[in-house]
Structure 1
């Protein structure tokens, strides 16, 4: 079973997810946007008995990856994701921090880029990888099919969708990603967005004004 908690970080209240395999107690941090020590403290809670084995990234924006370099330096675990087309965002990480008034961040290079059809493991649990461009060109979504759970980054929110006014954003591409990649996964999928509350794909298909 995949267990999880959500840890909002940074002034952007970005949802970092700490996920772990209940059998092996192996864990991963999904989109660690900042507050490195707080994230490490969450992993280290004794009752959970966790061992961090990877960092998983949905896309390259600062508020989703800001703590990644420091976490890598402190733990040595591999950085997995996002898609290679987001390399230009990651290469500009230091400038992003300056632009948005963030504390200095440590740069990094992913150990593994992700693409449509890939999968990643957390202990004995498997997450399927779906390429969902539009918000950024290399954005990926991670699906735990057995538990009907998806980590969607900034593709989709409850009642809204991701911004497309950043460099290499594309509104039509984002809509196509939602309509043709995300929604077909099933109405019963619970999604964890990059910001704000969780929802289900069925609720968004019926009520999200941006999808009508």
Structure 2
């Protein structure tokens, strides 16, 4: 993904005490971009935007946990852009972003996105299009973003390298999460590179081989 010949580039920027992976995405043709899951540390995010000379046109949100979107409302105001996502089932989480953020000394502000997202929707970053997939389990309104051309998926807290998202939070559901991974993520292809909400990237193929929760041998 380092070559400017590719239509899409991404930079991972860990934010908040929970080291959540905010992603700066941009279209190399237009240099217009988006922040995905800006949980906090807004000065750092803005410095990365300036470093890469990207003009932010929107904010994308995978789900409603504070470490993923606590800073979204303020950043949207600062940059005069709109927020797209998550799915409306996560409204109950967006309503208590301030309360939840206080536990970790992370500023949070509730918001209603300009656009809710659902299975089958698409979002654009510059001239690059991402398919939206509704992936409940970690939260009921979680979504992931997939660009087939670049073989890239941004999966929030659905799947990690060697692990899966927690389901012990309010309205989490373990079986729904497994179903989301198997029916929504695996069809994207084993060679799809994914950026998780925490930790290192991986590929779906690698996780199907070795992930102790969702490897093919485990699911079978």
Task: Work out whether the TM-score is over 0.5.
Answer: yes
Matches within 5 A, 1:21-32: 21-32=27-38
Q: Distance in 2 between matches of 1:120 and 1:101?
A: 31
- SS state of the match for residue 209, structure 1? coil
Q: In the TM superposition, what is the alpha-carbon distance from 1:89 to its structure 2 partner?
A: 0.2
Runs of 4+ deviating beyond 3 Å:
none
Q: How big is each residue's C-alpha offset from its partner over 1:129-170, in whole Å with a ceiling of 9 and x where there is no partner?
A: 001100000000100110100000000001100000000000
Contact 2:70 2:108 in 1 (8 A): yes
Q: Distance in 2 between matches of 1:102 and 1:134?
A: 26
Q: Distance in 2 between matches of 1:140 and 1:79?
A: 14
1:130 to 130, 133, 136: 133
Matches within 5 A, 1:66-105: 66-98=70-102, 100-105=103-108
Match of 2:4 in 1: none
Correspondence 1:41 to 2:47: yes
Match of 1:157 in 2: 160
Q: Distance in 1 between matches of 2:8 and 2:104?
A: 35
Structure 1 residues not aligned, in runs of 5+: none
Normalised by the size of structure 2, how large is the TM-score?
0.93
Normalised by the size of structure 1, how large is the TM-score?
0.96
Contact 2:16 2:106 in 1 (8 A): no
Structure 2 residues not aligned, in runs of 5+: 1-6
